[in-house]
Amino acid sequence: MAREARVSEQPLRRYGAVMGVCVLAGMAAGAVAGVVSATSDEASLGGAALIAAAVALAMAAALWACFRWWKGLDEAAQEAHKWAWWWGSTVGLCFAGVILMTLLYGAGDLGEAPIKSILMLGTAIVTGCQMVGYSVAWAAWWFRRR
Amino acid sequence: MNNHLRTLRADRGWSQADLAAALGVSRQTVNALETGRYDPSLPLAFKIARVFEQPIEAIFSDTGA
């Protein structure tokens, strides 16, 4: 029989701790990227490897925190997140697709923007729409079961 | 699926928080179970049966049956 996880009695505090770990890990990785960018005039393989390693470590820390948080959720809370992850993110992705296609082909000449800016804008649109969709879906799941 | 969780809980004078603590779930989950808008997993259904000392069929009934 699988070992039962202990459901957290302070879910908000636990969630805040996970967010805290993610923020700190992201800041640490960002600091490494900032130092690498500031100390070298040209992109180098070593600098890229250092940034990749820092971001990978940050992701691993965030995943570890998420894993600990997930184990403290009861089955209904896990179900809510799974449902919200699928439907909320999928619908959000649809919205992001509309926005991206509109910007690409319907917004006229957007000028010459740096590749990095374009990449970050696309990433922000997709992740932003997915996060909004996820949040709405999660709230709707619980609202329908109150 | 229907259930008699609310009645069984009330008969014992337990709050939703009391039942949640006994089952190891959140109060929100107990509320969702009682309103019939969330069906428990098999392990949780068995735990509910043990807590109330009733067979599962006496607590849950299938609306499709």
The pLDDT value recorded for residue B65 is: 56
Say whether A145 and B44 touch across the interface (CB within 8 A): no
Say whether A7 and B24 touch across the interface (CB within 8 A): yes
The arithmetic mean of pLDDT across residues A48-72, rounded, is 93
Helices B16-23 and B42-52 sit at what angle, rounded to 10 degrees? 120
At residue A125, the 3 state secondary structure works out as helix
B12-43 tens-digit pLDDT = 999 999 999 999 999 999 999 999 889 999 99
- Only one residue has tokens 């040209």, namely A42
Say whether A4 and B31 touch across the interface (CB within 8 A): no
pTM, whole model, 2 decimals? 0.80
The pLDDT value recorded for residue A110 is: 66
The reply to whether ipTM tops 0.85 is: no
Residue B45: name the closest of B65, B21, B61, B27 by CA: B61
pLDDT over threshold 80, residue A60: yes
Say whether B26 and A79 touch across the interface (CB within 8 A): no
Give yes or no for a contact between B48 and B55, defined as CB atoms under 8 angstroms apart. Answer: no
The pLDDT value recorded for residue A1 is: 39
The matching CATH number, chosen from 1.10.600.10, 3.30.70.360, 3.90.870.10, 1.10.260.40, for B2-53 is 1.10.260.40
* Residues of chain B numbered 7-46 and touching chain A (CB < 8 Å): 24-26, 28-29, 31-33, 35, 37-38, 40-41, 44
Cα-based distances in Å from A72 to A83, B6, B11: 18, 25, 30
**What residue of B is the nearest CA neighbor of A144?**
B37
What residues does each domain of chain B span?
Answer: 2-53
The pLDDT value recorded for residue A7 is: 67
User: What is the Cα–Cα distance from A15 to B48, expressed in whole angstroms?
Assistant: 27
Count of alpha carbons within 13 Å of B14, Cβ hemisphere only?
20
Q: Where are the alpha helices (DSSP H) in A72-114?
A: 75-83, 89-105
A72-116 tens-digit pLDDT = 899 999 999 999 999 999 999 999 999 999 988 877 666 677 888
